[in-house]
């Protein structure tokens, strides 16, 4: 599939279904979308519309039943599991609504985790990147804290730093403000927008919060497993 060099992600005619007992649920139904490099895009839709399914497919966590997904020029269908893992670790960062921090690790150690599976990154370089990520999200003073000593907003900043530390081209965020109060949610969106401009990293996040629509560069609506224009 030919790719415009400015298109970082291309999803073409993708279908995905799941079986729930005896019922077949069609999560995505011939969905297509292009994501330009450097975009800050919100995927808006109700619960069950297919948002998380689409993020999982783009993140190479799941596989489509049909259609094509191309990320930074790589056709995901042509990659084996090792190559998909490499793509996830080096080019994609993930932010989750439940933060997914490891409670027995400090802030610093949680952020360092993705770098531990990149053997070419030396301990000195790992430490430099972690400190830079801490500074980027404004939580350097909490580096020795454990997650249970942090507020929800602070924990989400740790999760953002962890996503950034590998210098990914794309960050996928699944409902990143869902567990935050309105004031904190807007602060997190401000931070993501700032990082988008500062680092030119592409953000694609899903939300059901219509209040965030006016804060982002591009809004895409999804319903019944397809993009609505």
Q: Is 101 exposed, middle or buried (0-12, 13-18, 19+ CB in 10 A)?
A: buried
Q: Is residue 26 part of a domain?
A: no
Count of structural domains within the chain:
1
- The answer to whether the predicted template modeling score (pTM) of the entire model surpasses 0.85 is yes
CATH for 118: 3.40.50.300
For the CA atoms of 204, 92, 52, 116, the dihedral, rounded to the nearest 10 degrees, stands at -140
Report the Cα 36 to chain-centroid distance in Å: 15
Tens digit of each residue's pLDDT (9 = 90 or more) over 94-150: 998 788 999 999 999 999 999 998 889 999 999 999 999 999 999 999 999 999 999
Q: In the structure, what pLDDT confidence band is assigned to residue 1 with cuts at 50, 70 and 90? A: low
> Which residue range(s) make up the domain with 52?
38-64+81-228
9 assigned to some structural domain:
no
Q: In this structure, is residue 142 part of a structural domain?
A: yes
């Amino acid at each position: 599939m030919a790719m415009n060099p400015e298109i970082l992600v291309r999803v073409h005619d993708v279908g995905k279904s799941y079986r729930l007992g005896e019922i077949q649920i069609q999560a995505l139904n011939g969905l297509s979308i292009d994501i330009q490099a450097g975009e800050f895009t919100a995927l808006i839709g109700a619960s069950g519309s297919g948002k998380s399914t689409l993020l999982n497919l783009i993140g190479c966590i799941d596989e489509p039943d049909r259609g094509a997904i191309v990320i930074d020029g790589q056709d995901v269908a042509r990659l084996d599991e090792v190559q998909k893992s490499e793509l996830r670790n080096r080019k994609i960062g993930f932010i989750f609504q439940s933060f997914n921090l490891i409670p027995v690790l400090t802030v610093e150690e949680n952020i360092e985790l993705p770098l531990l599976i990149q053997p070419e990154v030396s301990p000195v370089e790992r430490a430099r990147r972690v400190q830079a990520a801490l500074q980027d999200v404004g939580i350097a003073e909490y580096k020795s804290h454990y997650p249970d000593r942090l507020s929800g907003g602070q924990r989400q900043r740790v999760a953002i730093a962890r996503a950034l530390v590998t210098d990914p081209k794309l960050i996928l965020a699944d409902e990143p403000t869902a567990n935050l109060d309105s004031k904190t949610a807007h602060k997190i969106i401000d931070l993501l927008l700032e990082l988008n401009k500062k680092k030119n990293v592409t953000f694609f996040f899903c939300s059901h919060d219509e209040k965030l629509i006016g804060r982002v560069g591009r809004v895409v609506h999804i319903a019944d497993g397809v993009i609505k224009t």
